[in-house]
Amino acid sequence: MSRFIVMMVAVIVTAANALAQDIAGQTEEKQDSIVLSVNDTIALKDVEVVTMRQLVKTLDDRLSYNVQADPEARTSTVLDMLRKMPLVSVDGEDNVRVNGGGNFKIYKNGHPDPSLSANPREVLRAMPASMIKRIEVITEPGARYDAEGATAILNIVTVESVRIEGVNGTISASINTFGSPNASAYVAARVGKFTLGTTAFYQKQAHRQFASEDETWTTYKDTGTTMYNLYRNEQPAWIYSLDLNASYELDSLNLITASFGGYRYGLHIYGDSYIEYHDAEGQLITSYDNPFDLPHYGFMSWNGRADWEHRTSRKDEVLTASYMFSTTGQHEEQYDSLINLVNPPFAFTSYNKWGKERFIEHTWQLDYQLPLWGHHLLEVGGKYILRLNKSHNRMNYDGAAELDTDTRFKHDMHVGAAYASWRYKVGDVTLRGGLRYEYSHFRASYPNSDGEPFGRDLHDVVPSASVHWQLSPFNSLRLSWATSLNRPGINYLNPAVKRYTSTVEFGNPHLSSARNSMLSINFQHTGSRLTFNVKPTLTITNNLIGTLRTAHDGFVYLTNSNDCRYLMAGVGGFVQWMMTSKTTLYMNGGLTNNGWGGNLYAQLSQQLPWQLRATATCMWYGIGHDLNHVYGYSTMPDPTIMLGLSRSFLKENRLTVRLNANSILHKHQVDKLYVTQGDYVSHGVGRYNQRNVQVSVSYAFGSSNTRVKQTETTVENDDLVGGLRSGN
Q: pLDDT band for position 148 (50/70/90)?
A: low
Query: CA-to-CA distance for 464 and 445, rounded, in angstroms?
Result: 35
Q: Residues 634, 596: contact at Cβ < 8 Å?
A: no
Query: CA-to-CA distance for 126 and 205, rounded, in angstroms?
Result: 10
Q: What share of the chain is helix, strand, coil (3-state, %, to 5)?
A: 10, 60, 30
Q: Tell me how long the chain is.
A: 728
Q: Residues 15, 575: contact at Cβ < 8 Å?
A: yes
Instruction: Report which of 462, 463, 471 is spatially closest to residue 430, judged by C-alpha positions.
Output: 471
Query: CA-to-CA distance for 512 and 329, rounded, in angstroms?
Result: 24
What share of the chain in percent tops pLDDT 70? 81
Q: pLDDT band for position 119 (50/70/90)?
A: low
Task: Please list, residue by residue across 176-197, b when 16 or more beta carbons sit within 10 angstroms of its beta carbon and e when fewer do.
Answer: bebebebbbbbbbbbeeeebbb
pLDDT tens digit sequence for 504-560? 888 888 887 788 888 989 898 888 888 888 989 898 888 878 888 888 777 888 888
HSE, side-chain direction, 13 A CA sphere, residue 135: 27
Residue 497: exposure state from Cβ atoms within 10 A (0-12, 13-18, ≥19): middle
Give φ, ψ of 625 to 5 degrees.
-115, 95
Structure-derived torsion over alpha carbons of residues 80, 84, 88, 94, reported in degrees to the nearest 10: 20
Give φ, ψ of 573 to 5 degrees.
180, 180
Enumerate residues 6+ apart whose C-beta is below 8 A from 10: none
546 versus 280: which is more confidently predicted? 280
Instruction: Report which of 721, 405, 723, 679 is spatially closest to residue 548, judged by C-alpha positions.
Output: 679
Computed from CA positions of residues 467, 471, 472, 474, in that sequence, does the dihedral angle turn out positive or negative? negative
296 bridge partner residues = 333
303 versus 140: which is more confidently predicted? 303
DSSP sequence for 330-353: EEEEEEEE-EEEES-SSS-SEEEE
Query: CA-to-CA distance for 164 and 160, rounded, in angstroms?
Result: 12
pLDDT at 686: 92
In the predicted model, what is the mean pLDDT of residues 391-398? 92
pLDDT at 337: 95
Cα R_g (the chain), whole angstroms: 27
Q: pLDDT band for position 4 (50/70/90)?
A: very low
Instruction: Report which of 106, 8, 144 is spatially closest to residue 303, judged by C-alpha positions.
Output: 106
Instruction: Report which of 439, 341, 357, 355 is spatially closest to residue 390, judged by C-alpha positions.
Output: 357
Q: pLDDT band for position 308 (50/70/90)?
A: very high
69-70-73 Cα angle (round to 5): 115
Q: pLDDT band for position 27 (50/70/90)?
A: very low
492 versus 218: which is more confidently predicted? 218
Query: CA-to-CA distance for 358 and 349, rounded, in angstroms?
Result: 31
HSE, side-chain direction, 13 A CA sphere, residue 29: 11
Query: CA-to-CA distance for 618 and 587, rounded, in angstroms?
Result: 9
Helix (H) or strand (E) holding 609: none
359 bridge partner residues = 328, 389
